[in-house]
Amino acid sequence: MEAVVVDAGTKLLKAGFAVPDQPPSMVIPTQMKRVPEDESLTDASLLENVTVDPVVRGFIRDWDAMEDLLRHVLYTGLGWEIGNEGQILFADPLATPKAVREQLVQLMFEKFNISGFYASEQAVLSLYAVGRISGCTVDIGHGKLDIASVIEGAVQHISSRRFEVGGLDLTNLFAKELQKSNPLVNLSISDVEKLKERYACSAEDDLSYEKMQKACPEELHTLPDGQVIKIGRERYTVGEALFQPSILGLEAHGIVEQLVRCISTVSTENHRQLLENTVLCGGTASMTGFEDRFQKEALVSSSAIRPSLVKPPEYMPDNLANYSAWVGGAILAKVVFPQNQHVTKADYDETGPSIVHRKCF
């Protein structure tokens, strides 16, 4: 049986058997509905609003909910049989606390009785997905933005940074901007999320953005409940926020300058290798015009060596940026498990959860 690869994000969980040139077979919301322990509370309107987020800003926060979610994924979704569980590889977010890694390996061996475990950082896996072992990743997830440099398959933590800003913050920004233009329309956050995915885009440069703020053609959009809203300059505000964080109320440099500053902390002989192998990943990176704007900003960056984006191989699935860490995990699973580089049940029984730090880099 093939190993299972799991990448549990703040918004979506990607899972499936390790087939490297295929997208994950399961892509489901990470957020779950919580059923109250008191079965008398059966009011549908109450149940609708009782939700739990197992993953917050990229890290697992509710372990009971994560266990329930993984049971659904592994046994119902992927068809594992109790007593015949297989091997599993997890994609770790940048700077995952040691305690979280230990609790995850403990959960998998003690509650799921797996035969083998491995974990690797998302940045490394995203580079593997495009055929690189060294380079930079700019990962814009739903709850965080990670900028990481990787040399020979190892994350250089001194030159990597995590920002607690992501797609969720852009959705909230879009909601505020739409409310200003449509004060009489009542929008749910799920409505705004769908509108953002459809309409949000990046301007060509900051001058184009300023022009769009002054004179942008408006579109009318009819919501499922029949309300009609106007969407104009707001669509560009969302994309611009990553290049001008002041729009989000943050005192920070734009995303390209942040990347350059991170890389400046490693030895100069590695700058070219890192910056010229930059990979954009995460759902927000798929925004219309975002990649072109990133490249344009790179041309005017303060760095002598400019960031250059790696194109995914043609044989890889479309929209690779949305699940590049999962694809890289599927590639790595084909190496670590056959070559017995993973944590085995015997390893875990002998050493305990701390074995994960010795075996999983």
Strands 116-121 and 343-344: antiparallel
Q: Are residues 53 and 119 in the same domain?
A: yes
Q: Does residue 26 lie in a domain region?
A: yes
Could you read off the pLDDT of 258-294 as tens digits, one per residue? 999 999 998 889 999 999 999 999 999 999 999 999 9
- What residues have CB less than 8 Å from 102, skipping those under 6 apart? 353, 354, 356, 357
Q: What is the CATH number of the domain that holds 68?
A: 3.30.420.40
Strands 55-56 and 59-60: antiparallel
Q: Does residue 313 lie in a domain region?
A: no
Q: What is the CATH number of the domain that holds 226?
A: 3.90.640.10
Rounded to whole angstroms, how far apart are CA atoms 107 and 103?
Answer: 6
Q: Are residues 43 and 91 in the same domain?
A: yes
Q: Are residues 16 and 111 in the same domain?
A: yes
- What residues have CB less than 8 Å from 10, skipping those under 6 apart? 30, 53, 55, 56, 57, 58, 141, 142, 143, 144, 166, 168
- The DSSP code for 93 is P
Q: Does residue 130 lie in a domain region?
A: no
**Which of 191, 209, 240 is where one domain is finished?**
240
Q: Does residue 60 lie in a domain region?
A: yes
Helix axes 98-111, 63-71, angle to 10 degrees: 40
Nearest residue to 293 via CA among 207, 224, 233: 207
Q: Does residue 311 lie in a domain region?
A: no
Could you read off the pLDDT of 219-237 as tens digits, one per residue? 999 998 899 999 999 999 9
Q: Are residues 159 and 179 in the same domain?
A: no
14, 326 contact by CB (below 8 A): yes
Q: Does residue 51 lie in a domain region?
A: yes
**Which of 191, 213, 240 is where one domain is finished?**
240
Q: Are residues 36 and 178 in the same domain?
A: no
Strands 154-155 and 278-281: unpaired
Q: Into how many domains does the chain fold?
A: 3
Could you read off the pLDDT of 300-336 as tens digits, one per residue? 887 788 899 998 888 888 889 999 999 999 999 999 9
Q: Are residues 84 and 188 in the same domain?
A: no
**Which of 240, 261, 291 is where one domain is finished?**
240
Least confident of 22-36, 85-99, 223-237: 22-36
Q: Does residue 306 lie in a domain region?
A: no
Q: Are residues 77 and 153 in the same domain?
A: no
Rounded to whole angstroms, how far apart are CA atoms 47 and 36?
Answer: 8
Rounded to whole angstroms, how far apart are CA atoms 138 and 150?
Answer: 11
Considering the entire predicted model, what is its pTM?
Answer: 0.93
Q: Are residues 10 and 116 in the same domain?
A: yes
Q: Are residues 171 and 160 in the same domain?
A: no
- The DSSP code for 183 is T
Q: CB-based burial of residue 312 (10 Å sphere; 0-12 exposed, 13-18 middle, 19+ buried)?
A: middle
Q: Which domain holds residue 207?
A: 167-240
How would residue 38 be classed by pLDDT, with cut points 50, 70 and 90? low
Could you read off the pLDDT of 42-58 as tens digits, one per residue? 555 555 557 899 999 99
Q: Does residue 246 lie in a domain region?
A: no
Q: Are residues 161 and 257 in the same domain?
A: yes
Q: Are residues 55 and 203 in the same domain?
A: no
What's the whole-number mean pLDDT along residues 4-9? Answer: 97
- For residue 132, give the amino acid letter: R
Q: What does the angle CA 257 – CA 263 – CA 266 come to, to the nearest 5 degrees?
A: 155
**Which CA distances in Å does 91 have to 8, 96, 157, 346, 352?**
7, 10, 16, 22, 20
Q: Are residues 150 and 270 in the same domain?
A: yes
